[in-house]
Structure 1
């Protein structure tokens, strides 16, 4: 890719801004005896801020071709300011994104829930740098159109605009079953670990520098925890305590406290706020942030409960209040045991998405049943305005053990 722009790489939109040499009218000289002849300024000579203003207005379908024009354009399209401009112009849309690793690459699926007939769009992306095979139990976090798939030993960046995958720097502390969330364009991870070792380090990832660093240490080490972020606060929710306890009773108590509570880390002040307990005493199995709230899904062995935590810290009060909501209507064949896991994603400012992912093959083998049509695919949508659930399109068959996020593109 060249450093500077060349007109033969321009899209039809950019070429329309330049004079057409084959147009006879454009070749007719215009004589101004009093003033010197006007010069044409090519778009490539514009400063970055003006060029970004132009590029931010192109349709989404043209963005992949724009990134191939030159390195300068590719760099500008990757900048946070480009996303800011498109967001300000109302040209970004939110979609539910699911990604899973296979031997040949990554299967990515996008569901536009705002469509009249929502359906999944699936694509296969190949990582030239390798590394996709080690994404078991990976977590996903999205910054604009780019999804960062974070696993114990590898981090991949998937670009929803271009469908390309790039290998990024791994976490400092290898960990699995950790909490992850995005705050102010940076990724934060906490908890998790490997084997009996659970780390207390909270890491921050800067996408622009492709660098991880430890920003604090948590007072409680959580394994199997879930992350969410609202109003500059990183919520580390649920999970279990793995460590030495003096008695069986104390181990049971510690596990219960961890599984039904959340720790709050203020990213700006680098301070931990007062921990909160999830009502109902269940085990948190999924959580997400949407519309200034944290939504929590808890399991009570035979049923699920769904809660909303008011997370806005501004004026008006109400911070920290819990509200119980209508539970998701699960089909009868979905059992609440170790073979089923859940993922919760906030999409748009009015919808919280709960995706139910079950290891149905294991369930059928253990129960001895041979039923057909059961696979890890169920997707339910909760409307935060009317408080109702509805079933969305099931995940495509090739998307298994998916990591999910909300993509803005």
Structure 2
């Protein structure tokens, strides 16, 4: 960052470079697309990863919840509900402004996201990968990156191979994946990392065992892959987790990290003592299909009171989202669908 300001000077004629940079830094992310059209220098600045980290250091970023959510049913012109498969879209919720929005559809999938796809976020971008083709149910290796600055999707480099129900996490411009199963439903122990800046994949050391239907969690400089099961133990979820240290490049096993036999998908959190917790235990109203997205000192927790029940939405206040007071929030009808999974996006 030493040369950051000197590389971007004279943004606003007549203003000192430091003041000009401060003015642009304070622009809300919702205005970045329009601001990028002012001139080429503004476009280069706003799209620069250095500018993102500068905004974050300055406290100018916003924490959003982004989640894969069932879309409202489609109706015919006569008012009858159309008999189509359930479709999913990407919803964005700002807990501070209480605003709701929906990210535009991926051009290659205009009628709904790939089923069981995965999302993660880093450097103000949302990365979506994998899942099943909603028309054929075939596993896909597509990677898409949504740029909030441009308000547009771009195609990333395909995943190295087809895998479903894997763990995912992101940090410092990289997305980490591990586990899941292949096309023959064999549990995988392989791991890869995708670099957004270079658009390249790099293979990582393997875990000690295959982990199908595992859950990913980023904790500082560690990528946690929680529970899952090996090929021979279909549906018998393991109590252990494996942790990849981003600095050392090595895995370690953590025994008894999770409740044995319980699916970890989307419902894992971590308390201030470094212990894994289950969002479904936050309140009876979210005990079924719970999903939590930590946004600094706030956490959006969703779920139902019973199987097939309406989706409930709560914001939990407290450090790391743990042991805080839960407040139910009113949700517009079009954003009340089932939440499959989600992540925090800092933009």
Q: 1:205 to 1:381 in 2, by over 3 A?
A: same
Structure 2 spans left out of the alignment, 5+ residues: 1-9, 75-86, 132-139
Aligned counterpart, 1:341: 289
Could you say if the C-alpha distance between residues 200 and 408 of structure 1 is closer, same or farther in structure 2, counting changes exceeding 3 Å? same
Q: Which residue of 1 aligns with 2:137?
A: none
2:122, 2:171 within 8 Å by CA — same for their partners in 1? no
Return the alpha-carbon distance in structure 2 between the equivalents of residues 174 and 129 of structure 1. Answer: 18
Change (3 A) 1:241 1:164: same
Q: 1:139 aligns with which of 118, 123, 126?
A: 118
Say if 1:200 and 1:392 are closer, same or farther in 2 by CA, change over 3 A: same
1:403: how far off? 3.8
Number of residue pairs aligned between Structure 1 and Structure 2: 309
Corresponding residue number in structure 1 for 2:166:
178
Match of 1:389 in 2: 326
Task: Name the TM-score, length of structure 2 as normaliser.
Answer: 0.74
Structure 1 unpaired stretches of 5+: 1-12, 20-41, 244-250, 299-303, 305-326, 365-373
Which among 203, 214, 221 is matched to residue 203 of structure 2?
Answer: 214
> Quick one: structure 1 residues 128 and 69, their matched pair in 2 at CA, closer, same or farther if it must change by over 3 Å?
farther
2:324 is the counterpart of 1:356 = no
Instruction: Tell me the TM-score normalized by structure 1.
Output: 0.64
Q: Distance in 1 between matches of 2:127 and 2:298?
A: 22
**CA–CA distance in 2 between the matches of 1:403 and 1:354?**
11
Name 1:378's counterpart in structure 2: 312
Matches within 5 A, 1:191-210: 191-194=179-182, 195-210=184-199
Offset at 1:261?
Answer: 1.9
1:333-361 CA-to-partner distances (Å, cap 9, x unmatched) read: x7x7xxx533222111x233332269x8x
Q: Which has the larger radius of gyration?
A: 1
- Which residue of structure 2 lines up, in the alignment, with residue 190 of structure 1? 178
1:84 is displaced (CA, Å) by 1.0
In the other structure, the counterpart of 2:346 is 408
Alpha-carbon separation, structure 1, partners of 2:145 and 2:70:
13
Partner residue in 1 for 2:147? 159
Counterpart in the other structure of 1:270: 249
C-alpha root-mean-square deviation of aligned residues, in Å?
3.7
Q: Which residue of 2 aligns with 1:81?
A: 50
CA contact (8 A) 1:138 1:403 kept: no
CA contact (8 A) 1:284 1:297 kept: no
Q: Is the 8 A contact 2:241 2:253 kept in 1?
A: no
